[in-house]
Structure 1
């Protein structure tokens, strides 16, 4: 499961630790979301959507792509 999260974070010049602090989580969680080894829970996806201003379905496309 790949996400656009890493790209968005880099575009905003944020480290994983920076983003984790903004979202109220830890760097390990952000790393696992970026690598696709885990997906954030829906409330956290909403926080990420609100922060970046991009629909969570676009950021976490494969988490919502149930057709495959």
Structure 2
């Protein structure tokens, strides 16, 4: 259950900021030199971007990396146990 909440929160942040700035998944993919499927995977929580991609995405969306990926950086020990 916690894993599903983690995915939902992460998805909402990436897609919310992307949509706020008016980017499509395809536009983000092109700017970051990744596939549209990669962007979709980040937004659904199946995968997370590499560190350098996180930085690029944060700059592109005008938000601090720590804000955009807060849930990735601040997962609790209890959540880690439930995810792993």
Instruction: Say which one has the larger Rg.
Output: 2
Query: Which range, TM-score by smaller chain?
Result: 0.7 to 0.9
Q: Alignment partner for residue 60 of structure 2, among 51, 61, 67?
A: 51
TM-score (norm 1): 0.87
Structure 1 unaligned residues grouped into runs of 5+: none
TM-score (norm 2): 0.73
RMSD between superposed Cα atoms in Å: 1.2
Structure 2 unaligned residues grouped into runs of 5+: 1-6, 80-84
How many corresponding residue pairs?
Answer: 68
Q: Which runs of 4+ in 1 moved over 6 A?
A: none
Structure having the higher helix fraction is 2
